[in-house]
């Protein structure tokens, strides 16, 4: 990913280069304008946002939208933000611990039933998760997890993706690792913890970031298993916000900005990990 | 490898060969349970939330299962039959949702396969700012459907939205009812999805493009192949496995669409843009017909399996 190969028209002449960069900039406008408009609108007053046609810039720049979402007992947006942060962090940790252990066992240890277990896990990658929503609802209902933190933290960690992803990485590590460590008297737990995990930091970071993003953005599941205003995460919360503010767009956009900021910041910081994770998931095909 | 040496060096006191062999034997013995212990935490999660739902789904689908009723009688294949008999209560809504899902999939997949390929080809050369532009094109994808749903509901608002405002500026009609009327509702849903997820497929293509050896392009160039011929005879064949992956996953993603129509068109006009996933959760979790919804989930999963296999066949064939 990091070493670009000039394959098509690498040595562009002057006019071609202008067209090339113009295309890039036009695309940038298409991808970014909606996000910029979200921020602009979040800084307008209610009346300014109701103007037809809408004004280009917020005049005056107003904190109205943000004040509304910060002092709002019916829509406790900050509470949702906190819930989302805690849920996504715990989910990500749970995936890291369980998937790395399982992947280590499947990639580096030999035992009866390994092939069957792996086939079963990978097999579920082909079942659309949406088709399991109804029975999963029944299960979390039986566990009395509805409307609790656990319901948005735990079930998603059963996904086969993490195990599959880390197993591929562990398989790529040289066999001499275990041999040398075993000669030194290390047991499997020590090899896992002191040798394999430290060598797998990039893969673990990628999985952590992708799990965090997935959980932070999840919408379909939480809107059906979380109810109380205090228990919601941001995505179902934003739906509630839209329900109460309808066309009061500065408020709704302020909520959207708040929900976007952490993942956009995470994207900027961990861009390499996210993009590598995505491109590697394609190469297995 | 450096770490291994460090582990050895840090211990410093390598046991004598005999003790070593004994230790290895004992490691072998305790090792018998070890692989299972490593697997256990994940397998608990996987069993409860990965395998159990499959069994439970099948079981639910042959019962009249209402969350609010104490009696949940076995009804055989009735839940399935109702999906296929035109006089049942769910028939109309169910097939309406299948139709909506099919329309969205057929309209969105070609664009979601071709547009990202264009983006990837554009970015597959070295130039200053390459990483920056790649990040920009990917950025919408890191946002959740809740955010992009609210955002585009607003942008596509007929009166207050930016889209009509911009169209007005360049002299085009500025009163298009993007989210309430046909065919605009489909155009909006497809357009938003292309904007939202193109960066994702583009990144997958980019990795595939970089695996194609530059020598192949060089050879084609020496043979006098023009840009189109190089694309047709070098790029496309080189991308075939990646293309198959992108098409299969994109079809599945489009067929599972929910949030965009739930938030942007809110099913409008009428329930014309209500998708299968939406109808299933509505029937199962809002109307309490878990049995019927489970039957729909299974029929839906089978439909997707058929489509995926067809995809696979189609593209494997072309390889020969």
d(CA B293, CA B304): 16
Q: What is the number of other CB atoms lying within 10 angstroms of the CB of residue A174? A: 11
Residue A102 per-residue DSSP state: H
Q: What is the number of other CB atoms lying within 10 angstroms of the CB of residue A10? A: 13
Q: What is the number of other CB atoms lying within 10 angstroms of the CB of residue A132? A: 25
| A272 Cα to chain B: minimum distance (Å) | 9
Please name the residue that has the structure tokens 């935490």.
B41
pLDDT band at A282 (very low <50, low <70, confident <90, very high): low
SS3 category, A186: coil
Q: DSSP string covering A215-260, please? A: HHH--TTHHHH--STTT--HHHHHHHHHHHHTT-HHHHHHHHHHHH
- Sequence-ordered list of residues with C-beta below 8 angstroms from that of B144, at least 6 positions apart, any chain: A216, A217, A218, A219, A234, A235, A259, A263
Cβ of B151 within 8 Å of Cβ of A239? The answer is no
Does domain A72-283 fall under CATH 2.60.120.10? My reply is no
Residue B264 has a pLDDT of: 95
Please name the residue that has the structure tokens 């008999």.
B85
Cβ of B145 within 8 Å of Cβ of A195? The answer is no
Backbone angles phi, psi at B70, to 5 degrees: -70, -35
Residue A12 has a pLDDT of: 55
* A282 and B246 Cβ atoms separated by less than 8 Å: yes
| A140 Cα to chain B: minimum distance (Å) | 9
Peptide bond into A53 cis (omega under 30): yes
Residue A270 per-residue DSSP state: T
Q: Please name the residue of chain B whose CA is at the shortest distance from the CA of residue A285.
A: B245
C-alpha dihedral, A134 to A135 to A139 to A144, nearest 10°: 20
Backbone angles phi, psi at B289, to 5 degrees: -90, 70
d(CA B42, CA B95): 38
| A138 Cα to chain B: minimum distance (Å) | 9
Chain A residue numbers with beta carbons less than 8 Å from the beta carbon of B154 are 41, 249, 252-253
Question: CA–CA distance from B138 to each of A204, B50, B174 (Å)?
Answer: 21, 30, 29
pLDDT in tens, chain B (320 residues): 333 333 333 333 444 444 444 444 444 434 689 999 999 999 999 999 999 999 999 999 999 988 778 888 899 899 999 999 999 989 999 999 999 999 999 999 999 999 999 999 999 988 999 999 999 999 999 999 999 999 999 999 998 999 999 999 999 998 999 999 999 999 999 999 999 999 999 999 999 998 898 899 999 999 988 989 999 999 999 998 899 889 999 999 999 999 999 999 999 899 999 999 999 999 999 998 999 999 999 999 999 999 999 988 887 755 54
In whole angstroms, how large is the CA radius of gyration of chain B?
A: 27
Q: Quick one: what percent of chain A has pLDDT higher than 90?
A: 66
**Choosing among A135, A214, A256, which should be mutated to test the B contact, i.e. which has the most B CBs within 10 A?**
A135
Q: Please name the residue of chain B whose CA is at the shortest distance from the CA of residue A264.
A: B142
Q: DSSP string covering A30-97, please? A: HHHHHHHHHHHHHTS-HHHHT-SSPPSS-SS---HHHHHHHS-SSS-HHHHHHHHHHHHHHHHHHHHH
Residue B68 has a pLDDT of: 79
Sorted by where each starts, the structural domains of chain B and their CATH numbers stand as 19-61 (no CATH), 82-319 (1.10.3720.10)
Cβ of B142 within 8 Å of Cβ of A264? The answer is yes
Q: What is the number of other CB atoms lying within 10 angstroms of the CB of residue A224? A: 20
d(CA B297, CA A150): 25
Maximum separation of any 2 CA atoms in chain B, in Å: 88
pLDDT band at A44 (very low <50, low <70, confident <90, very high): very high
| A38 Cα to chain B: minimum distance (Å) | 7
Mean pLDDT of chain A: 89
Residue A6 clears pLDDT 50, i.e. is over it: no
Residue B7 has a pLDDT of: 34
Chain A residue numbers with beta carbons less than 8 Å from the beta carbon of B51 are 120, 124
Residue A156 per-residue DSSP state: G
- Which candidate from A104, A120, A127 shows the least CB-CB separation from B301? A127
| B313 Cα to chain A: minimum distance (Å) | 15
Nearest Cα neighbor of B262 from B253, B271, B254 is B271
Cβ of A31 within 8 Å of Cβ of B245? The answer is no
d(CA B65, CA B75): 10
Residue A218 has a pLDDT of: 96
**Choosing among B40, B150, B196, which should be mutated to test the A contact, i.e. which has the most A CBs within 10 A?**
B150
Give B66's strand partners.
Answer: B289
**Choosing among B11, B25, B27, B49, which should be mutated to test the A contact, i.e. which has the most A CBs within 10 A?**
B49
pTM for this one? 0.89
pLDDT digits (tens, 9 = 90+) for A68-115: 998 888 899 999 999 999 999 999 999 999 999 999 999 999 899 999
The pLDDT of A252-276, averaged and rounded, is 92
Give B289's strand partners.
Answer: B66
Residue B24 has a pLDDT of: 45
d(CA A259, CA A237): 10
CATH 1.10.3720.10 domain locations along chain A: 72-283
Cβ of A134 within 8 Å of Cβ of B35? The answer is no
- Which candidate from A157, A252, A264 shows the least CB-CB separation from B45? A157
């Amino acid at each position: 990913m990091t070493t670009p190969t000039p394959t098509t028209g690498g040595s562009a002449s002057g006019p071609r280069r202008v067209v090339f960069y113009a295309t890039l900039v036009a695309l940038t406008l298409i991808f970014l304008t909606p996000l910029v408009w979200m921020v602009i609108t979040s800084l307008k007053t209610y009346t300014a946002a109701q103007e037809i046609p809408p004004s280009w810039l917020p005049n005056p720049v107003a904190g109205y939208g943000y004040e509304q979402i910060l002092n709002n007992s019916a829509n406790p947006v900050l509470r949702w933000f906190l819930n989302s942060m805690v849920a996504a962090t715990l989910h990500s940790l749970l995936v890291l611990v369980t998937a790395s252990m399982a992947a280590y066992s499947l990639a580096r240890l030999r035992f009866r039933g390994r092939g069957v277990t792996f086939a079963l896990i990978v097999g579920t990658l082909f079942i659309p998760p949406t088709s399991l929503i109804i029975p999963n609802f029944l299960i979390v209902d039986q566990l009395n997890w509805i409307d609790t933190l656990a319901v948005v933290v735990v079930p998603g960690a059963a996904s086969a993706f993490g195990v599959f992803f880390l197993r591929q990485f562990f398989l790529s590590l040289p066999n001499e690792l275990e041999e040398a460590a075993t000669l030194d008297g290390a047991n499997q737990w020590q090899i896992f913890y002191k040798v394999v995990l430290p060598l797998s930091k990039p893969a673990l970071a990628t999985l952590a970031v992708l799990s965090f993003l997935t959980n932070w953005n999840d919408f379909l599941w939480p809107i059906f298993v979380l109810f109380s205003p205090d228990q919601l995460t941001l995505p179902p919360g934003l739906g509630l916000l839209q329900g109460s503010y309808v066309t009061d767009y500065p408020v709704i956009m302020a909520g959207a900005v708040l929900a976007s900021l952490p993942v956009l910041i995470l994207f900027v910081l961990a861009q390499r990990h996210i993009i590598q994770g995505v491109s590697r998931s394609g190469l297995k095909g | 490898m450096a770490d291994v040496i460090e582990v050895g060096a840090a211990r410093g006191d390598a046991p004598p060969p005999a003790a070593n062999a004994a230790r290895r034997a004992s490691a072998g013995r305790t090792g018998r349970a070890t692989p299972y212990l490593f697997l256990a935490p994940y397998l608990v999660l996987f069993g409860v939330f990965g395998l159990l739902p499959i069994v439970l789904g099948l079981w639910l689908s042959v019962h009249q299962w209402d969350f609010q009723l104490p009696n949940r009688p076995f009804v055989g294949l009735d839940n399935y039959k109702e999906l296929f008999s035109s006089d049942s209560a769910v028939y109309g809504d169910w097939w309406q949702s299948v139709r909506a899902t099919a329309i969205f999939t057929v309209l969105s997949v070609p664009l979601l396969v071709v547009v990202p390929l264009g983006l990837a080809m554009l970015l597959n050369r070295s130039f200053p700012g390459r990483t920056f532009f790649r990040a920009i094109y990917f950025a919408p994808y890191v946002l959740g459907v809740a955010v992009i749903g609210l955002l585009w509901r607003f942008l596509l608002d007929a009166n207050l939205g930016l889209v009509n405002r911009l169209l007005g500026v360049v002299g085009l009609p500025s009163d298009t009812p993007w989210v309430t009327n046909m065919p605009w509702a489909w155009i909006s849903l497809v357009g938003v999805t292309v904007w939202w997820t193109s960066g994702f497929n583009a990144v997958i293509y980019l990795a595939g493009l970089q695996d194609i050896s530059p020598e192949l392009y060089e050879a084609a160039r020496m043979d006098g192949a023009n840009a189109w011929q190089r694309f047709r005879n070098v790029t496309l064949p080189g991308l075939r496995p990646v293309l198959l992956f992108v098409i299969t996953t994109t079809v599945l993603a489009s067929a599972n669409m929910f949030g965009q129509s739930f938030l942007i068109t809110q099913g409008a006009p009428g329930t014309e843009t209500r998708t299968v996933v939406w109808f299933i959760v509505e029937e199962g979790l809002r109307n309490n017909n878990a049995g019927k919804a489970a039957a729909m989930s299974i029929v839906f999963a089978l439909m997707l399996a058929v489509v995926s296999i067809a995809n696979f066949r189609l593209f494997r064939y072309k390889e020969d």
